[in-house]
Structure 1
Amino acid sequence: MLFSFEFSPIAVATLTFLLAGFVKGVIGLGLPTVAMGLLSTVMAPAQAASLLIVPSFVTNVWQLATGPRFGALARRLWPMMAGVVVGTLAGTGFMQGSHAGQAAIALGVALMAYAVLGLTAMRFAVPPRAERWLGPVIGAVTGLMTAATGVFVIPAVPYLGALGLPKDELIQALGLSFTVSTVALAAALAGGGSFETGTAGASALALAPALIGMSVGGWMRGRVSERMFRRCFFLGLLALGAHLASRALI
């Protein structure tokens, strides 16, 4: 059976989704990044990604549904979303079997890259004429990264941030990208035999701590300096990514 955990992994999973939900509540993203990084220290990446599916889907649909311009964003971003689906399905099996060690290394590297981008506050700009060809490429690369690591922030988040969207539209665009990535990841894991009925039940149980954490994070958003929180968050991701990559190499 896929999820035959002792007390410690269950406790780790519960605390992980509380923390991951809290981070998402404060800064609007980070649930899969935190969850995959921490869960991969106590279980295989494919197991961690399977636990992630329901909390990620529900919280991202919530984020997507609260934005102002879903139709316009969907029409603008559909080539990127198609690339995400194709890339994720093409990478089916990357996290499983003999690829698990490489997946852990890739996850560590992805976390470090994301942390460095966040700490340096690098900003990019994508000209409108480049969106037609660049969007599908970014989507496909994001899909391959999703299939290999369970994390769908690189390079999707920097790309969406470079489109110059207003704040509310950017949050909704991130929700759209994360939702499509979650569904594509679930399909890839199901195709590889890692996301089954029992797994879906375990993932559903992880939803409650994720929603509690997200609610607390939303409450804390106006009471803590977001700049300081983001700095601590990215430094933590950098250390976690280095730990995962080095552990997989040893």
Structure 2
Amino acid sequence: MTATVLVFVLAVFVLAGFAKGVIGLGLPTISMGLLAVVLPPAEAAALLILPSLVTNVWQMMDGPHLRAVLRRLWPLNLGVCVGTWGGAAFLSGLGGPYGALALGVALMAYAVSGLAALKLTVPRRAEPWLGPLTGAVTGAITAATGVFVIPAVPYMQAIGLQKDALVQALGLSFTVSTLALAVTLAGERAFTWELAWPSLVAVVIALLGMRLGQAVRARLSPQTFRLCFFAGLLALGAYLAARGLT
């Protein structure tokens, strides 16, 4: 990895870490999109694994809601693993134009519905069967695109998770998804020793960006956080769709 590429990679992780600190997501989406400019998609996904895992674990542990979300979301996360491994056949589509375009459009549609205050609601009695189904679909999309968002994030909001509990739940599910994707990438032999030290440096940079973003989030009211959350999703979706079109 040349010095120019390394500087670009580190700048990407600062930006992605900051976005993750503010709204609880965005690190894989931003990183995959920008890293694919200078790296092959499977290599970009492999480089992303360690920073994603460390930042996700930090996000998962940062708050008092972990036990509650573990109890409530284990069916979703089990489905994520099954879907990711089942979708491993689509790994060659990582960063592919059609996957990015479809995911971008879905993100924008969900963000617009959120900004328009259209509220999705999942009754508690539906969670035992809808959670695993949502997780399996999300896992398959993760295997195909390297991005964990749809439909798990709308599901978490639809069951009533708010601000800090939502962010912590996202950290939990992102951790599970990252580990499942790592198993898939290991099977594809995408990991190389050449990626080891850039990954370690990226962890530090991403954590610094994330810490700055968390400081910003702590100052946000629930209403402002909601606006930032959906605006961030809209921007991520527009970026993915534009990348798919070009």
TM-score range, shorter chain: 0.7 to 0.9
Shift of 1:232: 5.6
Mapped contact 1:107–1:148 kept (Cα < 8 A): no
The residue that corresponds to 1:89 in the other structure is 85
| Alpha-carbon offset, residue 203 of structure 1 | 2.0
Cα displacement (A) at 1:78: 1.5
The residue aligned with 2:21 is 25
Instruction: With the length of structure 1 as denominator, give the TM-score of the two structures.
Output: 0.85
Do the aligned partners of 2:163 and 2:225 also contact (CA within 8 Å) in 1? no
- Does residue 116 (structure 1) correspond to residue 105 (structure 2)? The answer is no
Indicate the SS of the match to 2:90: coil
One-letter amino acid of the counterpart of residue 150, structure 1: G
Does residue 100 of structure 2 align to residue 107 of structure 1? yes
Deviation of 1:136 after TM superposition, in Å, equals: 0.8
Q: Percent identity?
A: 49
Unaligned runs of 5+ in 1: none
Report how far residue 59 of structure 1 moved: 1.1
* Further displaced range: 21-30 or 64-73: 64-73
The equivalent position to 2:68 in structure 1, one of 65, 72, 97, is 72
**Aligned AA for 2:147?**
V
CA contact (8 A) 2:17 2:27 kept: yes
Q: Which stretches in structure 2 are left out of the alignment for 5+ residues?
A: none
Aligned position for 1:219: 215
Aligned-residue offset at 1:214: 1.1
User: In structure 2, what is the equivalent of residue 236 of structure 1?
Assistant: 235
1:43 and 1:233 map into 2 onto residues whose CA distance is 25
1:123 is displaced (CA, Å) by: 2.6
Q: Does 1:43 align with 2:39?
A: yes
- Equivalent AA in structure 2 for residue 87 of structure 1: G
* CA-based RMSD: 2.4
SS at match of 1:95: helix
Equivalent position SS for 2:88: coil
The whole-number CA distance in structure 1 between the counterparts of 2:147 and 2:108 is 13
Aligned-partner Cα distance in 2 for 1:6–1:201: 13
Deviation at 1:53, TM superposition (A): 0.9
Q: Does 1:59 align with 2:58?
A: no
Q: How many residues align?
A: 240
- Offset of residue 236 of structure 1: 3.4
Structure 2 counterpart of 1:202, which letter?
P
The answer to whether residue 127 in structure 2 is matched with residue 134 in structure 1 is no
Change (3 A) 1:234 1:71: closer
Residue aligned with 2:38, SS = coil
Q: Which amino acid aligns with 2:107?
A: Y
2:94–2:146 Cα contact (<8 Å) kept: no
Counterpart of 1:184 in structure 2 is: 180
Contact persistence 2:50–2:203 (CA under 8 A): yes
Equivalent pair of 1:67/1:171 in contact (CA under 8 Å): no
Offset of 1:166 from its aligned partner? 4.3
